[in-house]
């Protein structure tokens, strides 16, 4: 079974631009979560989607948004990019469970975003 895939793997943008990142979960997984990872802050939760609905949201500004399609694939969009948005963006999928359950999350390799 193929793992979680994320595209693109690397991205360079300039301040003020917008970006869309894509995540394809493991086949059969209905929950997709997005995380931002920086050296100083570690992993920070952005949002979780389940059956095309945002189920949970972290403490990020409205410039960060996402959506999930009927095939469970998910996209994340960041508008008006800032230098501080430079990070590794990770997507994780799980079968169905809520974050607090034992339902294991499987992470993709991430998209490395650099904002100049």
Partner 1 sequence: KNQVEQSPQSLIILEGKNCTLQCNYTVSPFSNLRWYKQDTGRGPVSLTIMTFSENTKSNGRYTATLDADTKQSSLHITASQLSDSASYICVVSAKGNRLAFGKGNQVVVIP
In angstroms, how far is the first alpha carbon of the chain from the final one? Answer: 37
Count of C-beta atoms within a 10 Å radius of residue 16: 10
DSSP state of 27: T
| Residue 110 interacts with partner 1 (CB under 8 A): yes or no | yes
Query: What would the x/- binding string for partner 1 be over residues 57 to 96, using CB under 8 A?
Result: ---------------------------------x-x----
- Tokens 């974050």 — which residue? 99
Query: What would the x/- binding string for partner 1 be over residues 32 to 51, using CB under 8 A?
Result: ---------xxxxx--x---
Residues that bind partner 1 (CB under 8 A): 4, 41-45, 48, 55-56, 90, 92, 98-102, 104-110
């Amino acid at each position: 079974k193929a793992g979680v895939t994320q595209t693109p793997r690397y991205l360079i943008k300039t301040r003020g631009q917008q970006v869309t990142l894509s995540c394809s979960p493991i086949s059969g997984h209905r929950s997709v979560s997005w995380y931002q990872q920086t050296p100083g802050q570690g992993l920070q939760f952005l949002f979780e989607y389940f059956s095309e609905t945002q189920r949970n949201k972290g403490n990020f500004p409205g410039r960060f948004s996402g959506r999930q399609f009927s095939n469970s694939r998910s996209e994340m969009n960041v508008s008006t990019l800032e230098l501080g948005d430079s990070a590794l963006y990770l997507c994780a999928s799980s079968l169905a469970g809520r974050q607090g359950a034992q339902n294991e999350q499987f992470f993709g390799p991430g998209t490395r975003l650099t904002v100049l």
